[in-house]
Chains A and B, each alone.
Chain A
């Protein structure tokens, strides 16, 4: 993770500033790759749909099958719990990436200001 001390940027050399800029660029690339792609969200949506269908079918046909189809409900509920768990992890990751983005923005601004102060 990129940790920039914005307070003492003026005290560091040009080479060090360039190294920090390089590190920021690398960190941004890594963090950008960690953003969840669209297909993963669509897959979870499909899983939720499958879970709902299984659960509803299990409940509706329980009377005719003597409760055997309640096993479908178990499978459906387990699938939905899985999806909700993955979803919670995705939301957590999204919040963390959002807060990281603010930090990266601050780091970029401070480096850009320092570069401008050093009269390009």
Chain B
């Protein structure tokens, strides 16, 4: 911006110098070649007092005022256009940001799903190390990890114990049967 302003000043000075030089050249040419009399005889005061200048000044003033008035609506129009452009840019940017956020969320979801799948595919020793994969509280009867046959045996033993308990007249009621004890006894009985 300072460079442009410097160039503008130089252009202005060059323009004024060219005006002065051309006026001087015109005076010299007029004095020595055409009029054969000094140019200082031309009166500036008389020129400004003449009817020509009166008419010309009115015309110039109207022209300059017209330029100023014409600039105002153009300026307003351009301000509106700039505001409209700003709104359009902001809207498009918001849409782009929303799309990007959706893409980010989707990527995160995909990554976490992939991580979970990889952890599932990992060997059991690695899975045991992972804190999410180990169950927090395992019941004591499943510690042995014996399988479905043992569970069936436990259930049959439980039902037998309950029946025996019911058959005895002086024994405790069915609610007092210690199921946990029966369950724990199963591995030792094996």
Interface flag for B96 (CB, 8 Å) = yes
Sample of 11 A–B contacts (CB below 8 Å): A18-B104, A18-B107, A28-B89, A28-B92, A31-B89, A32-B89, A44-B75, A62-B57, A94-B82, A101-B85, A105-B92
Q: B-side binding surface: helix, strand, loop or mixed?
A: helix
Interchain pairs with CB closer than 8 A, number: 109
What secondary structure prevails in chain A residues at the interface with B? helix
B81:A80 contact, CB within 8 angstroms? no
| B85 engages A48 (CB within 8 Å) | no
Interface pair B81/A94, CB less than 8 Å apart:
yes
Chain B contact residue count (CB 8 A cutoff): 41
Q: How far is the CA of A19 from the CA of B12 in the complex (A)?
A: 49
Per-residue CB proximity of B65-103 to A under 8 Å, as 1/0? 101100110010011011101101110110111011011
Q: Which partner residue on chain A sits nearest B103 by CB separation?
A: A18
Q: Please tell me if the beta carbons of B99 and A14 are within 8 angstroms of each other in the complex.
A: no
CB contacts (< 8 Å) of A78 on chain B: these are 12
Interface centre among B49, B89, B95 (most CB of A within 10 A): B89
In the assembled complex, the Cα of A108 lies from the Cα of B97 at a distance in Å of: 11
**Which positions in B face A, CB cutoff 8 Å?**
8, 12, 16, 44-45, 48-49, 53-54, 57, 60-61, 64-65, 67-68, 71-72, 75, 78-79, 81-83, 85-86, 88-90, 92-93, 95-97, 99-100, 102-104, 106-107
A115 close to B81 (CB less than 8 A): no
